[in-house]
Structure 1
Amino acid sequence: MRVDLSRRAVDLPERMDADDADPEMLARTYARFTYLNAILSGRRGVHSREIDPRARHGWIRVLDIGCGGGDIARYVARGLRRDGIRAEVVGADIDPRAVRWASDADADGLVQWRCASSSDLVAEGEQFDVVLSNHVLHHLSAAQLTGLLDDSAQLTALGGIAVHSDIARSRTAYALYDALTWPIAGTLLRRSFIREDGLLSIRRSYTAAELAAVAPPQWRVQRRFPARLLLVHAGHLV
């Protein structure tokens, strides 16, 4: 059956977001994100372009909003420690299941884990040099997206940057993900939500034109190969 990718499938919920999601499958999904995001998230490029330049003075604060299983936050924290940079990396998610799993997986205590929304952090007066998210935008309603972007701008310190990374909806992205995950669906991805929810994620995601149309003027959309979008807001320079 041919999948309709002409519009966002916002009416199709992802199974891992359900309150009654199977705990074992959810835990396996968080664990497998480490491998999947190493290939698909573009995390290395964001680190080299946005984080490293802002860490030159030897201190940086980084926030990962909607951190899920926490693999991106741990990747950032490990890279900064390896480079000898003093850093405070915060992983925040509104789902306590994700925060518990991420905290348990962080054996070295590299990240501060918070069960909190971006609005909670704004209310606390928090500021960060880099504000990140990965695969969060497509989960949000229009009102939630507006709120996240407003919060992100307020959470970004002078000279800092906010970068929200997500999938670009396209037939190519869908076909590539389908081809990548099909051979390991019964092995590495067995008893997880990654294949089914990943395909739904692509159907729920934006095209570059759609994202540019809903983003405030101070945000810009960047395309990354092969099927990734970055929504970027640079804070005012010091």
Structure 2
Amino acid sequence: MDLPGCDPARLERTYAQFALVNRAVAGWRGIYRTWMRPRLSTDSPTSLLDIGCGGGDVSVLLARWAARDGLRLQVTAIDPDPRASLFARGRHASAGVTFRQAAAVELLDEGRKYDLVVSNHVLHHLDGLAAFLAESARLSRGTVIHNDLRRSPAAYALFFAGSWVFTGSYIRQDGLTSIRRSFTAAELAAAAPPGWTVARRAPFRNLLLLDRAFGDHGKGPVSRG
């Protein structure tokens, strides 16, 4: 699906189906409750940047949950792929999220800063993990949360068995490739620079966390292994 010549109809269906997959297995509701909601306020706005937002479903969920809790969250979602940005803006035009076609380095060049920086299923796509982490850290005033797959034979087998239902899209092909390319918790902890921590989450998730402004408040159990 990353190839420029891939079928546009299948690609749009993939973005739409990713919303179902993320709701089912990405675990953002628990991430929001544990790591994000304690940082939000009813009085002053908190800014959030979603890097590599794809179809934009995670960005919209975070904005919606904060609004339901009466908390002020301003969400900006970026993706360098013009196809993803176009889909997200069209699908979520009334969601109260600012979607931009941009890479993280472009926002750094603009001098942007955000209270929270997040990503979903980005780490395993990267050739330069250290550069991406440095960029996301520079964009954040305090907290960075990168949510990604955790590689295991069980994760691969379960997705292989259950992904037949996602027809007419790249979900199955992309998902199996992504699981193979993803990190174990130990690999991610070894690859991350000092100051980052890895939290294992079910099912088959890694959170890579940087929290410089809020101490231990709101943190869940964090493991380097």
State the TM-score, normalizing by the size of structure 2.
Answer: 0.91
Is 1:56 aligned with 2:38? no
Match of residue 183 from structure 2: 206
Match of residue 155 from structure 2: 173
Match of residue 13 from structure 1: none
In structure 1, stretches of 5+ residues that fail to align are: 1-15
Q: Using the alignment, how far apart are the partners of 1:221 and 1:50 within structure 2?
A: 13
Q: Using the alignment, how far apart are the partners of 1:123 and 1:77 within structure 2?
A: 26
Q: How far apart are 1:87 and its partner, in Å?
A: 2.1
Deviations along 1:82-141, one digit per CA (max 9) or x if unpaired, are 222222101100001000000001131411011111111112121112111010000000
| 4+ long deviations beyond 4 Å | none
Q: Is the 8 A contact 2:124 2:181 kept in 1?
A: yes
Match of residue 156 from structure 1: 140
Q: Is the 8 A contact 1:138 1:166 kept in 2?
A: yes
Match of residue 43 from structure 1: 28
Q: How far apart are 1:51 and its partner, in Å?
A: 1.8
Q: Give 2:131's aligned amino acid.
A: G
Is 1:34 aligned with 2:19? yes
Is 1:88 aligned with 2:74? yes
State the TM-score, normalizing by the size of structure 1.
Answer: 0.86
Q: Is the 8 A contact 1:156 1:235 kept in 2?
A: no
The number of equivalent residue pairs is: 214
Match of residue 121 from structure 1: 107
Q: Using the alignment, how far apart are the partners of 1:77 and 1:27 within structure 2?
A: 22
Q: Using the alignment, how far apart are the partners of 1:39 and 1:237 within structure 2?
A: 29
Q: Is the 8 A contact 2:119 2:146 kept in 1?
A: yes
Percent of paired sites with the same residue? 47
Superposition RMSD in Å:
1.3
Q: Using the alignment, how far apart are the partners of 2:116 and 2:192 within structure 1?
A: 19
Q: Using the alignment, how far apart are the partners of 2:71 and 2:185 within structure 1?
A: 34
Is 1:224 aligned with 2:206? no
In structure 2, stretches of 5+ residues that fail to align are: 216-225
Deviations along 1:49-73, one digit per CA (max 9) or x if unpaired, are 1221111353211111000000000
SS of residue in 1 equivalent to 2:119: strand
Q: Using the alignment, how far apart are the partners of 2:49 and 2:31 within structure 1?
A: 13
Q: Give 1:40's aligned amino acid.
A: V
Is 1:195 aligned with 2:172? yes
Q: Is the 8 A contact 1:50 1:130 kept in 2?
A: no
Q: Is the 8 A contact 1:73 1:111 kept in 2?
A: yes
Deviations along 1:139-169, one digit per CA (max 9) or x if unpaired, are 000x2x1111001111111xx3101011111
Query: Does 1 or 2 have the higher relative contact order (CA < 8 Å, sep 6+)?
Result: 1
Match of residue 218 from structure 2: none
Q: Using the alignment, how far apart are the partners of 1:22 and 1:120 within structure 2?
A: 28
Match of residue 106 from structure 1: 92
SS of residue in 2 equivalent to 1:17: coil
Is 1:21 aligned with 2:6? yes
